[in-house]
Amino acid sequence: MMTAPEITCVHDCHAVLGEGPFWDVREQRLYWVDIKSRLIHRFDPSAGRDETWPMPEDVGSLAPRDRGGLVVALKSGFHFYDPVERELAPAALPDGEPANNRFNDGKTDRQGRFWAGSMDDAEKVPTGGLYCLEPNLRCRKMVDGIICSNSLCWSPDSRTMYYADSWRRTVWAWDFDPATGDIANRRVFITVAADAGIPDGATVDSEGFIWIAQWGGWRLVRYDPTGKIVRTIMMPVEQPSCPAFGGSSLDIMYVTSASIHLSADRIARQPQAGGLFSVDAGVKGLPEARFRG
Ligand code: BGC
Ligand code: CA
Q: Could you read off the pLDDT of 245-267 as tens digits, one per residue? A: 999 999 999 999 999 999 999 99
Q: What is the pLDDT of residue 53?
A: 98
User: pLDDT grade, residue 1 (50/70/90)?
Assistant: low
What does DSSP say about strands 70-74 and 77-82: parallel, antiparallel, or unpaired?
antiparallel
Please compute the mean of the pLDDT values over residues 114-121 and round it to a whole number: 98
Nearest to 158 by CA among 135, 134, 181, 137: 181
Q: What is the pLDDT of residue 3?
A: 74
CB distance 202 to 151 below 8 Å: yes
Instruction: List Cα–Cα distances, 149 to 63, 77, 102, 278, in angstroms.
Output: 17, 14, 10, 24
**Pocket of ligand 1, candidates 123, 169, 235, 256: which has the most ligand atoms within 8 Å of its Cβ, to mutate?**
123
Q: Give me ligand 2 centre to Cα 62, in Å.
A: 12
Among all bound ligands, the one having the nearest atom to the CA of 216 is 1
**Position 2 pLDDT exceeds 80:** no
Q: Could you read off the pLDDT of 60-108 as tens digits, one per residue? A: 999 999 999 999 999 999 999 999 999 999 999 999 999 999 999 999 9
CB distance 118 to 102 below 8 Å: yes
pTM of the entire predicted model: 0.97
Nearest to 61 by CA among 31, 20, 119: 20
**Position 123 pLDDT exceeds 80:** yes
